Structure 1
Amino acid sequence: MEPATTQEGGLKPFPGTVSAPKPRTAVMEAIEDILYGSIAGVVGKYIEYPFDTVKVRLQSQPDHLPLQYRGPLDCFRQSVRADGLLGLYRGISAPLVGAALENSSLFFWERLGRAAIYASGVYSSSSSRGEAAAALPLSALWLTGAFSGAMTSFVLTPVELVKCKIQVPDTAMTGEGGGGAAKALRPIPVIKDIWRHQGLRGFWHGQLGTLIRESGGCAAWFGSKETVTKLMREWNERRRRAVRREEKEEDDALPLWQQAVAGASAGMMYNFLFFPADTVKSRMQTSPIGEGAAQQRSFAGECAALWKQAGLKGFYRGCGITVLRSVPSSAFIFIVYDGLKKYFPLQ
């Protein structure tokens, strides 16, 4: 999910240019970000989804009962024993749509954030608009990441609400026992049940947790990727000077393994730093609804209940497997996105 950058860490022109490149409109750049971000997001979701299912089941264990799972491996074994390996992909249709929406929204709003900072004149230069000399520093890219995540959270909350209820079928949808769990296996019955009992507002249950996770996490995601990319370029430059190699234009591109390292580090930062907010959100979104269900807790109420049950470690339940899954997932997302941007630029 990394915009192409200069050695200073800012935005640079897209690859494949000639001596007099045709100007790229903001509309074409936005379409490219949305299309390629969606493709990369779908690839990453297929890689990470089984880990995400285990994570949600660990996070959503009731606070008034003994823990069902002793840890990630135990949860994985029990899940495979009960539903088979394909059971870990239960409800993936909604998250695939969510992954496309998430990445499209992230790139769209991140581009608008950069455009707003350019328009403010704080980092303006004497060069023409859009040239590499008008690069943004790393601090500004962390800020645009936070802005992008905050706006994207409003898109993600309804999608993740449906996903979480499908991933944890034992939390009855209606609170009436077994009847609700069967309906929770497919997105449409879940959507209808939420609408019937809570209306439109019910789809944003857990919004505060998503907002905290996405605004802080995406600042770390974009910012960490750009920071590691800059460090890699500086390291490559020192190596070139050590062997007295002449710098060439194509040397600015990172090798594939360095792109993967930068992407993986960004994913780990995103998932670890704001994991407690995600835990509380998952517990809120897997709580039963409807007649016979207990009154749903607020974000603060869910925090208090979890703290009383398990203390600080309860907020990090499932964190290890979540950070682990982000290594291949984020690496592939960045590699796919950067590769499409480099080799298939839209004209």
Structure 2
Amino acid sequence: MDFWPEFLASSWGKEFVAGGFGGIAGIISGYPLDTLRILQQNSKTGSAFTILRNVVSKEGPTALYRGMAAPLASITFQNATVFQAYAILSRTLDPLESTKDPPSYKGVALGGFGAGALQSLLLSPVELVKIRLQLQTKTQKGPKEVAKSIIKAEGLRGLFRGLGITVLRDAPSHGLYFSTYEYVREQLHPGCRKTGEENLQTMLVAGGLAGVASWICCYPLDVVKTRLQAQSKYPPPKYTGIVDCFRKSVREDGYAVLWRGLGTAVSRAFLVNGAIFAAYEIALRCLLSNGSIQRENAMSAK
């Protein structure tokens, strides 16, 4: 691809748009499994099949999409911001010898770490509302109603319940996430990081494995985050903080509770992140190719 070195040197804004497309593809493809994961983490039984059967038999398949409006409405901006921040940070934190070279693996890891920390600020309120929606059983409220009820009971600060644990989860896992993707795609298609020449299968597999790696490394923190965000301030919460939640969860259910729902999360991670990176890479190529055509037309007109 002749345009790829040019893209590596200057692609401001394109990662933002492509990241939005990737995020939408990911949320649509994996939301039912995400709902199942949340229900597993917050229940006494860890059987995904039992929970799935109960939910579908009582409320129908659409119950697996409950609360999707909240993350779908924000996912374009959130995912777009993450990919744009990653692109900037990965090049800034580890300056390249040449603007035509891809970021080093060190730059990739640092850029992913920074992007993950930034994402936490955007994602924490959205996941809080989403978790409350997914755990509803009787009264069915919409995203706005849930958000308003949280603010009414706990103030604006209540929307950021679980922010600390979200940062601890997302910053390191995103460093591993982007590092795994770049490493695997290079192994599957040597030279593709510099040339941009790779097939759809490479994008899907590399993206899927990146998602699996990042989830495995942060999963216990995600279980704690879910339990903290599932509780409200009134009545008095069961857990007073991250350490307290960790201790009580292990004391009541054993260390296995920290991995409850991992199978569902890993299955979802491979599917979702394969879709995210494939949509992201394809969108980037379309955007840049279109930009190249427009510049050529402008030159011809002159």
Counterparts of 1:49 and 1:208, CA distance in 2? 24
Counterparts of 1:138 and 1:79, CA distance in 2? 43
Deviations 1:221-253 (A, max 9, x none): 1000001012123399xxxxxxxxxxxx97x51
| Closer, same or farther: CA 90–324 of 1 in aligned 2, 3 Å | same
TM-score (ref. length: structure 2):
0.88
2:202 alignment counterpart: 258
2:295 alignment counterpart: none
Counterparts of 1:283 and 1:141, CA distance in 2? 31
2:230 alignment counterpart: 286
Q: CA deviation at 1:326?
A: 1.3
Counterparts of 1:267 and 1:305, CA distance in 2? 29
2:180 alignment counterpart: 224
- Structure 2 unpaired stretches of 5+: 292-302
Deviations 1:137-166 (A, max 9, x none): 212211110111011111100000000000
Instruction: State how 1:48-197 maps to structure 2 within 5 Å.
Output: 48-61=30-43, 67=44, 69-117=45-93, 123-125=95-97, 127=98, 131-133=99-101, 135-170=102-137, 182=139, 185-197=141-153
Instruction: State how 1:13-24 maps to structure 2 within 5 Å.
Output: 13-14=6-7, 24=10
Deviations 1:28-86 (A, max 9, x none): x342212221111111101110000010011112xxxxx2x341111111110111000
Q: Percent identity among equivalent residues?
A: 24
- Structure 1 unpaired stretches of 5+: 5-10, 16-22, 62-66, 171-180, 237-248
- The question of 1:300 aligning with 2:243 is answered yes
| Closer, same or farther: CA 82–261 of 1 in aligned 2, 3 Å | same
Q: CA deviation at 1:112?
A: 2.8
| Closer, same or farther: CA 36–60 of 1 in aligned 2, 3 Å | same
- The question of 1:39 aligning with 2:21 is answered yes
TM-score (ref. length: structure 1):
0.77
Counterparts of 2:139 and 2:110, CA distance in 1? 43
- RMSD across aligned C-alpha pairs, in angstroms? 2.3
Task: Compare CA radii of gyration and give the structure with the larger one.
Answer: 1
| Closer, same or farther: CA 318–95 of 1 in aligned 2, 3 Å | same
1:318 alignment counterpart: 261
2:294 alignment counterpart: none
Q: Does structure 1 conserve the Cα–Cα contact (< 8 Å) formed by 2:180 and 2:210?
A: yes
Q: CA deviation at 1:200?
A: 1.3
2:80 partner letter:
S
Counterparts of 1:205 and 1:262, CA distance in 2? 33
1:50 partner letter:
P
Q: Does structure 2 conserve the Cα–Cα contact (< 8 Å) formed by 1:14 and 1:342?
A: no
Counterparts of 1:293 and 1:117, CA distance in 2? 43
Q: CA deviation at 1:266?
A: 0.5
Counterparts of 2:69 and 2:20, CA distance in 1? 14
2:70 partner letter:
A
